[in-house]
Amino acid sequence: MSLTLPNSIWSSEDLKELISNLKLYSKWLASYSIKQRVSGGENQPIAPPSLSALATSMLGGLHDRHNLTQASVDKLISDLEAIDVVAPRIHFTFAAAPSNGLKRTFVSWCRDNLSHDILVSFSFNATILGGMVVRYGSHIFDWSIRRQILANRAKFPETLRHV
């Protein structure tokens, strides 16, 4: 499978939304093809469904590389579903909601350094106070300020006295 995820697909939810859009198009294409064969092309064309910009772009790219057929659209869908099943996942938790710029930076770094098809998700939890917690597979890396405070519980009051 040589399909690479677009940079705008970050998470499993983004990927599922894209797949859903492409399935909608595939269903329309099958219906349209049947109507064209039955009527001999005499009926007025039926407008395709409204798709996301990304789905439209991927279908356009598919049309540029191959003839846009039911089989090529279904192959694209099955390739994306395969990526959803096997792609590694990483989750970042921050103390505040991350900006889109920060998300893009993290996704870019993960795709450059970990895996080209990694799916990245983000959340925030104010109780970590600062820093971040990263979950990758069965590993959890806790670089939160809360963990540091709890790990050095005895030194914390002394540190506060010097502030």
Mean confidence (pLDDT) of the chain = 89
Q: Across residues 119-135, what is the average pLDDT?
A: 95
Look up the domain containing 154 and give its range.
87-161
In angstroms, rounded to a whole number, what is the distance separating the alpha carbons of residues 93 and 142? Answer: 9
Q: What percent of the chain has pLDDT over 70?
A: 95
Domain tally, the chain: 2
Q: What is the pTM of this model?
A: 0.80
Whether 21 and 74 map to the same domain: the answer is yes
In angstroms, rounded to a whole number, what is the distance separating the alpha carbons of residues 136 and 36? Answer: 49
Report yes or no on 5 lying in a domain. no
Whether 92 and 80 map to the same domain: the answer is no
- The pLDDT of residue 146 is above 80: yes
- The pLDDT of residue 143 is above 80: yes
- The pLDDT of residue 20 is above 90: yes
Whether 135 and 95 map to the same domain: the answer is yes
Q: Across residues 135-149, what is the average pLDDT?
A: 92
Whether 93 and 129 map to the same domain: the answer is yes
Whether 105 and 53 map to the same domain: the answer is no
Whether 61 and 92 map to the same domain: the answer is no
- Identify the domain boundary among 44, 59, 85: 85
pLDDT band at 99 (very low <50, low <70, confident <90, very high): very high
Whether 112 and 125 map to the same domain: the answer is yes
- State phi, psi for 114 to the nearest 5 degrees: -110, -60
Q: Which of 93, 14, 23 is nearest to 6 (CA)?
A: 14
